[in-house]
Amino acid sequence: MVAVTILTFLVAGLASLFMAWSIGAGSSGSTPFAPAVGANAISVMRAGLVVGVLGFFGAVLQGANVTEAVGTELIGGMTLTAGAAIVALLTAAGLVAIGVFAGYPIATAFTVTGAVVGVGLAMGGDPVWPKYVEILALWLLTPFVGGGVAYAVARALIGDRLPERALTAVLAGLVGVILANVGFALLGPAGEQASVAEALALGLDAPGPLGVVAVTVAFAALIAAAVFADIGRDREGAQRRFLLAMGGLVAFSAGGSQVGLAIGPLVPIFGDVGVPLWALLVGGGVGLLAGSWTGAPRMIKAIAQDYASMGPRRSIAALIPSFAIAQTAVAFGIPVSFNEIIVSAIVGAGYAAGDAGVSRAKMGYTVLAWIASLVGSLAIGYGAYWTVSLAL
């Protein structure tokens, strides 16, 4: 009996690592630096290496919220068993892997959410409609908000109505506002997160909302001033550095969001035997890192070149709303697809230049793949667990 239990846990862990590898090779490993690659700011192979490292740190420092949501908040009235977690993870990972090798960015959050819900319903669990409404609202709004903001920012950057140097500095300052208020596990007490603004305000003996606002404004002003000065010295070089910095922030956010899709189903079963959440986050981060280093270059090329022809300014415009949406999802513990976030932003920024090489056919196939991944993973997860339970 003990041997069977150990084997079951081992298979569940391997399924989770396979899922993490698939995510690293697909969404979290390919999308963050795709705009930068498309703008020739970094090579495909170097992007894969960098995004893997940043994704690992994001997973460890920010992955708790989404991980707990996937593991405990998608199905009510019961918790996933080891067998159910294995079925859900293998279902989702298989679909994501197919997308990686076919060159189409399958929405990882759709496949994992669908598989977990399908398996949970097959087990006799109850739907959690408030959480589903929250998730679907973000999924439906992402293309319009992300694409719309990217379009507006790109139009402003490539137009001549506003001074580009000042506008870029303002955009950097807005990014600084978000960054100052991002929660990190290392800055908060045990089991909680705190932002840079909260930690600095507390250190300056100015806790509370006013102190956080003051620190946030000062932090954003410093970043804006640094970018403004950098553009004055070297315009093209400053654009490239800002673009790479945004890619790094999005890669970090991808790790914090996507690791939960790989290890979330393990939380109920490994938590019962005393495995701490941070250990699962480290393991998931390693899986993301391996996927980014071994499988991401193929998808980076697909997203960077097949969806739109991007320059540095439009690439920056695509990454700013992507970072904001990603951090919103992390803060609220909502599983979100980075493929959906980045592709929508790339298309929005691409249309800012008229058409900019946006592939309508590619987008059509991608949207169909997203819908099919959600419906298919839910149906396959339900059917697979039902079949396995009958066999046993």
CB 44 within 8 A of CB 67: no
**Letter for the amino acid at 197?**
A
* Whole-number pLDDT of residue 302: 64
* Whole-number pLDDT of residue 205: 82
CB 154 within 8 A of CB 353: yes
* Whole-number pLDDT of residue 294: 80
* Whole-number pLDDT of residue 74: 92
* Whole-number pLDDT of residue 392: 63
Calpha distance 41→46 (Å, rounded)? 11
* Whole-number pLDDT of residue 142: 92
Give pTM, 2 decimals: 0.87
Calpha distance 97→26 (Å, rounded)? 8
Enter the tokens of residue 195: 């932002």
Residues 184-213: pLDDT tens digits? 877 877 767 888 899 899 888 877 889 999
Helix axes 360-391 and 108-122, enclosed angle (nearest 10): 20
Provide the phi-psi class of 124: left if phi over 0, else alpha when psi is between -120 and 50, else beta: left
Closest by CA to 83, choosing from 388, 390, 376, is 388
* Whole-number pLDDT of residue 127: 93
Enter the tokens of residue 340: 């959906």
| DSSP strands (E only) in the chain | 75-76, 126-127, 183-184, 194-195
Return the C-alpha torsion angle 108, 25, 91, 264, nearest 10. Answer: -60
Contacts of 102 (CB under 8 A, 6+ apart): none
* Whole-number pLDDT of residue 120: 92
DSSP conformation letters of 178-203: HHHT-EEGGGSSTT--EEHHHHHHHH
Residues 318-350: pLDDT tens digits? 899 999 999 999 989 999 888 788 888 888 888
The CA-atom distances, in angstroms, between 302 and each of 40, 188, 251, 364 are 14, 39, 17, 15
CB 120 within 8 A of CB 386: no
Residues 226-251: pLDDT tens digits? 999 999 998 888 988 998 899 889 88
**Letter for the amino acid at 298?**
R
Return the C-alpha torsion angle 30, 348, 221, 181, nearest 10. Answer: -60
Segments of the chain scoring below 70 in pLDDT: 1-5, 26-31, 34-35, 38-39, 100, 102-105, 191, 296-299, 301-310, 354-360, 362, 392
Phi, psi (rounded to 5 degrees) for 84: -65, -40
Phi, psi (rounded to 5 degrees) for 356: 55, 30
